Structure 1
């Protein structure tokens, strides 16, 4: 489960942003090239966050596609593939852009009085995956 390293980096960004406030939910934008499973990300985040301010927090993971342009025809398209083939001419000479982002987009805090939680846009905050997990 390679999601653990990504979640450790996201947790560091969440903890900096939260400044001690208890976290209920987070929103993360992950590029398709990272090959993240939203369900595995949720499970991994709960594991690395256990015992801290984000313990029990849920995740809302959005996958950002790769933008691609074919060199053989005028096709421009989005894909989740790291080495895409043009859907129009089936050419493999395709330039890709994006799909490698990892961004904390928002944090939702637990309300101390049990009322509605407050959501705060995170900025967006680019996150570095940690390699030590």
Structure 2
């Protein structure tokens, strides 16, 4: 249920930047390695935005690819499967290095 708190933050950011204008859409970037579920964010968005300048605004989702850092050879590589094997040295020791974020990329407002 962590989508509730992130959706509250998204709404606050979007409304602050809209500066009193009505929102048409909010463009979000969500990392492939984050645990956020688009449908849950949309559900909370509809509830939380009711009665605000964001009511009826559409959420647009873009996915950021996951990336790992090999702990042995220190090379970054994209997540391609669940085994997390480094394609450079075949090590199975890796940590997430990208694709965990969730942020508002842009907003569109009605003029």
Same fold by TM-score greater than 0.5: yes
Give the alignment's TM-score, normalised by structure 2: 0.78
Secondary structure of the structure 1 residue equivalent to 2:33: helix
| Counterpart for residue 66 of structure 1 | 66
**8 Å Cα contact 2:34/2:100 also seen in 1:** yes
| Counterpart for residue 107 of structure 2 | 107
Task: Specify every segment of 5 or more residues in structure 2 that has no aligned partner in the other structure, as ranges.
Answer: none
CA root-mean-square deviation: 2.7
Aligned-pair CA distance for 1:71: 3.9
Aligned-pair CA distance for 1:54: 0.2
Describe the superposition over 1:66-123 as per-residue Cα deviations: whole angstroms up to 9, x where unpaired.
Answer: 3213345686422288x86216476431132122322211111124xxxxxxxxxxxx
Give the alignment's TM-score, normalised by structure 1: 0.67
Aligned mates of 2:63, 2:31 — CA distance in 1? 6
Aligned mates of 1:4, 1:71 — CA distance in 2? 34
| Counterpart for residue 36 of structure 1 | 36
